[in-house]
Amino acid sequence: MADDSIAVVDLDRCQPDRCNYECANYCPPNRTGKECIVRREERFGEETPYAGGPQQIHISEEVCLGETCGICVEKCPFDAIEIINLPTELEDDPAHRYGENAFALYGLPIPQAGEVTGILGPNGIGKTTAVRALTGAVVPNLGVLDAPVGWDDVIDAYRGTELQPYLAALADEAVSIAQKPQYVDQIPREYDGTAADLLASTDERGALEGYIDRLGLAPVLETTVDRLSGGELQRVALAATLARDREFYFLDEISPYLDIGQRVTAARLIDELATETDAAILVVEHDLALLDLLADRLHIGYGRPGAFGVITPPKSTRAGINEYLKGYLSTENMRIRPTAITFEEHAPRESVMGAPLVDYAAMAKSYDGSGFSLQVEPGQIHAGEVLGVVGPNGIGKSTFAKLITGEIAPDSGEVEQSVPLAYKPQYIEADTPIRVESLLQSISTAVGTSIWQTEIGDPLQLDRLLDRMVTDLSGGERQRVAIAGCLSTEAQLYVLDEPSAHLDVEQRIQATTAIRRFAENNDKSVLVIDHDIYMIDLLADRLVVFDGEPAVRGHAAPPQSMRAGMNEFLEQLAITFRRDERTSRPRINKPDSQLDRTQKAAGEYYYAVE
């Protein structure tokens, strides 16, 4: 194979007990007597280091003809093989490779003292691998698989680069590190005390009290972590990480479960930490508006998820995000997506006003245990429209969704609807060991048909998940399956609570496109609750805006136009947005900047064009 190609075998999908080794039997080099595709026991012996088993296959990258052949890829009945031509611009060896025919990562991000460095890219592209290398959890092997690689080798490979001093300090254990986990909902499995107990040992800079106040954690300090909501867990994890006195902070996805106001507060706290302590902060984030506000510079990750990933040199944040949305990296001369992601130039669009589908009167709902009460003003959901729901956490948005679906009954008022409903809740449980395909087929007989594949399967990238067990899926994979399950249900109104959680930027756009096109092509209505401004901006026709006092009382206004609704919502948060002049994407104005003050004075929180 050419030096710029790699072969990847997905051992979770390679099932030799269910095939006849079509890949090896049809391989042209094999048929001429060469050993290109062999069983792993033949390559590694009976003590094969691969957990998949010795009967699975190994592909010799030296003998393979490369992507131009591709016969094994086509013949494999389980889509377990990828033969990939790497970008010709990749001249360096991998920073790390997990083994022969396994994932390879090219390039590493560069932490910079006193700055916030962002990483933007799809899931499965190697961001976590890069972070493990920078935290010392793994020594990058430089793609060398037949000999041990030590830190001296790594430092020598990066000699003369911006990364060398950091790697040298890391090798000498002279770098102190704080790390916030990606999936905060796993914290209760590791810790069973109260939030106060968890935070008590982290106050290494005397800053914890300020974080508790600004992140609104005082009301939950005496609550055990297993009773905290996702948003509360995220804020506790963030406070615990930022309160430590370290030289390098790694924050993996700070936006899930946080509302827009909380995201902006988190961004300000992180920026202050970098400025005041001269710490290096590395953030992996999928909320583009938040990343735009937060990062001083940006690395783009691209490649083939699960096969190879490339981390680019740092770019300016604005240029990096715009290039990512455009799908073309100018410095690298690399197209990473066939089409650009575009936003409407003039917000808002005219709302779709079909016949009323759901008519709800003024409603009230209260909870005796928590003391929370919700007041809902009357409104309608029209046929064929996408109705967005925005508001702070703990304000009753999920309660509103449950009232609309009939999952709970109001104390007063009623919902008039006789149409079938489908509902995706905010938190997704996956305790039953069942294959994804079997789960979806239990919901709809249309699963696997060409229409289902076009409208749901392909946009949500489900093909490689169908054979997996639901219990083995990551948070983002589980979210995509849950969205697919909801849209696969035969209904007239589809209610989706936080569909963006744990999805990367690409997946959010694809999910948004799938939801929007599904509604338009099938004349369906959608009610979507989310905190991602980009998703709401691309998706919604009208808005329901919530206000009140979190965890105490909530109020839902009637549905209104996008402009009126977003202006009302953003004024509550004292946040203004502008549109990027090149891509029309939403951008948060820097607090108290000239444009921020001008828009507030004019009452135009949504949007001004740069």
What would the pLDDT profile of 550-574 be if each residue is shown by its tens digit? 888 999 999 999 889 999 999 988 8
Per-residue pLDDT at 48:
52
Region 44-49 average pLDDT? 58
Place of tokens 């309608």: 380
Per-residue pLDDT at 354:
76
> Concatenated DSSP letters for 448-467?
TSHHHIIIIITTTT-GGGTT
The yes-or-no verdict on residue 81 having pLDDT over 60 is: yes
Question: Distance between CA atoms of 188 and 195, rounded to whole angstroms?
Answer: 10
Per-residue pLDDT at 348:
45
Query: By the 8 A CB rule, do 583 and 326 touch?
Result: yes
- Beta bridge partners, 608, equal 578
pLDDT greater at residue 44 or residue 490 = 490
Confidence grade of residue 386 (pLDDT, cut at 50, 70, 90): very high
The yes-or-no verdict on residue 9 having pLDDT over 80 is: yes
Confidence grade of residue 606 (pLDDT, cut at 50, 70, 90): confident
Per-residue pLDDT at 305:
87
Region 163-187 average pLDDT? 92
Confidence grade of residue 610 (pLDDT, cut at 50, 70, 90): low
Evaluate the omega torsion of the peptide bond into residue 348 and state whether it is cis, within 30 degrees of 0.
yes
Burial 231-257 (b: 16+ CB within 10 A, else e): bbbbbbbbbbbbbbebbbbbbbbbbbb
**How many CB atoms are located within 10 Å of the residue 69 CB?**
16
Question: Distance between CA atoms of 242 and 542, rounded to whole angstroms?
Answer: 37
Per-residue pLDDT at 1:
47
Selection from 209, 262, 261 nearest residue 233 by Cα: 262
Residue 51 exposed, middle or buried by CB count within 10 Å (0-12, 13-18, 19+): exposed
pLDDT in tens, 237-284: 999 999 999 999 999 889 888 988 899 899 999 999 999 999 999 999
Per-residue pLDDT at 347:
42
The yes-or-no verdict on residue 353 having pLDDT over 80 is: no
Place of tokens 């090219």: 106
Q: What are phi and psi of 390, to 5 degrees?
A: -130, 155
Per-residue pLDDT at 489:
94
- Beta bridge partners, 605, equal none
Query: By the 8 A CB rule, do 511 and 480 touch?
Result: yes
**What's the Rg (C-alpha) of the chain?**
25
Mean pLDDT, rounded, of the chain? 89
Question: Distance between CA atoms of 232 and 361, rounded to whole angstroms?
Answer: 32
Helix (H, G, I), strand (E, B), or coil: what is residue 101? coil
Per-residue pLDDT at 91:
66
For the chain, the helix, strand and coil percentages under 3-state DSSP, each to the nearest 5:
35, 20, 45
Q: Is the dihedral of CA 458, 463, 468, 469 positive or negative?
A: positive
Residue 320 exposed, middle or buried by CB count within 10 Å (0-12, 13-18, 19+): buried
Selection from 163, 116, 110 nearest residue 296 by Cα: 116
pLDDT in tens, 502-541: 888 888 888 998 999 898 888 899 999 998 888 888 889 9
Percent of the chain at pLDDT exceeding 70: 95
Containing 553, the helix (H) or strand (E) segment is: strand 553-556
**How many CB atoms are located within 10 Å of the residue 111 CB?**
22
Helix (H, G, I), strand (E, B), or coil: what is residue 423? strand
The yes-or-no verdict on residue 146 having pLDDT over 90 is: no
Identity of the highest mean pLDDT range in 39-43, 138-142, 335-339, 466-470: 138-142
- Structural tokens at position 158: 């990066």
Region 417-441 average pLDDT? 86
Confidence grade of residue 54 (pLDDT, cut at 50, 70, 90): low
The yes-or-no verdict on residue 315 having pLDDT over 60 is: yes
Per-residue pLDDT at 213:
96
Helix (H, G, I), strand (E, B), or coil: what is residue 479? helix
Question: Distance between CA atoms of 42 and 53, rounded to whole angstroms?
Answer: 12
